[in-house]
Amino acid sequence: MRAHRLLSILIIISQKGLVTGMELAEHFEVSLRTIYRDIEKISEAGVPIAAVGGKGGGYYIMENYNINNLFFNKDEIQPLIAVMDNLKVLFGNNPQFNDIVLKFDTLRENTEKPYEKLSIDMSHFSMEQELREFLFIINKAIEESRCWSLNI
């Protein structure tokens, strides 16, 4: 449970920017002292969390440090986002899966420019192997920003 809370604290702080210890304590239903210990553990792990004291203060992750880089680079994120979009159909309204999708949506917002978004949802199609291979080639060309032509 503690590892989950530590990771969740990191995600919340990276998304919101400045978060008070009390907000975190209320969110996780733990004491403020527990949050202080958790923040200390996160700092010991090498994440540069800074604190601003007084009214309007709180915890934040220092500039030029992107929490998302701990896990995936941009080239790794894009295919995962596409997979998550297609898996939404299979899992429906599953709360645990929706939490995972929310994390990937956050990654999408941080890495994707509006004009870069192009995806092919193949979850509703029943298709022959030849068509699957063709669509795979098209998708690969799009991912690698390559030019391709279709000779009919």
Q: In terms of pTM, does the model score above 0.85?
A: no
CA distances from 54 to 51, 74, 91 (A): 10, 37, 44
Comparing CA positions, the residue from 148, 88, 90, 77 lying closest to residue 117 is 77
What confidence category does residue 22 fall into, taking pLDDT thresholds of 50, 70 and 90? Answer: very high
Q: How much of the chain, in percent, has pLDDT values that exceed 90?
A: 20
List, in order of start, the domains of the chain with CATH numbers. 2-68 (1.10.10.10), 71-143 (no CATH)
Q: Map tokens 């995972």 to a residue.
A: 100
pLDDT at 109 exceeding the cut of 60: yes
Q: How much of the chain, in percent, has pLDDT values that exceed 70?
A: 69
For the segment 27-38, the average pLDDT, to the nearest whole number, is 94
48: left (phi over 0), alpha (psi -120 to 50) or beta: beta
Per-residue pLDDT of 36-87, as tens digits, reads 999 999 999 888 899 998 888 899 988 777 665 556 666 777 777 777 777 7
